[in-house]
Amino acid sequence: MAEPAGQTSARWQVLAAIEHEPSTVAQIARNLGLARQSVQRLADLLARDGAAAYEENPNHRRASLLRLTPKGLRALREIQKTQRGWADELGRQIGASELRRASAVIERVMELLSSQRSDE
């Protein structure tokens, strides 16, 4: 889905992570559950290509913020439009009642995982 916009799935994740506000590479990595070094590499590539840019972080001298540029926002919007169409079609094929059942199962799994974490 990201390829027509000139991106990869991994770069799409980073673009989406900074869609609403700039973040440090460490924050992005934590939120995505990825290694900071891999996010750093992606952030550097996005900045090199003009899809993102580093800016000064008023809260930390050494940890710059990564922000979306207009070019990055255009790419992200194109990907999101494609993804919405794909998801809508998939949902149509699966049907509302099956999606509701699947959602209930996923919610139950999440509850069980959450309760196991709090027991540890």
Contact present, 43 and 27 (Cβ < 8 Å): no
Residue 26 lies in a domain: yes
> 36 is in which domain, residue-wise?
3-95
Residue 112 lies in a domain: no
Q: Mean pLDDT over all residues of the chain? A: 94
Residue 29 lies in a domain: yes
Residue 107 lies in a domain: no
Helix (H, G, I), strand (E, B) or coil at 68: strand
The percent of residues in the chain predicted with pLDDT above 90, rounded, is 88
Q: What is the CATH number of the domain that holds 56?
A: 1.10.10.10
- How many independent structural domains does the chain possess? 1
Give pTM, 2 decimals.
Answer: 0.82
Residue 41 has a pLDDT of: 97
Residue 61 has a pLDDT of: 83
Residue 109 lies in a domain: no
CB atoms near residue 2 (< 10 Å): 19
Residue 19 lies in a domain: yes
Render pLDDT for 40-74 as a digit per residue (tens, 0 to 9).
999 999 999 999 999 999 988 889 999 999 999 99
Q: Is residue 120 scored above 90 in pLDDT?
A: no
- Partners of 54 in the beta sheet? 66
Show Cβ contacts of residue 36 under 8 Å, excluding neighbours closer than 6 positions. Answer: 25, 26, 29
Angle of helix 25-32 relative to helix 9-17, nearest 10 degrees, comes to 110
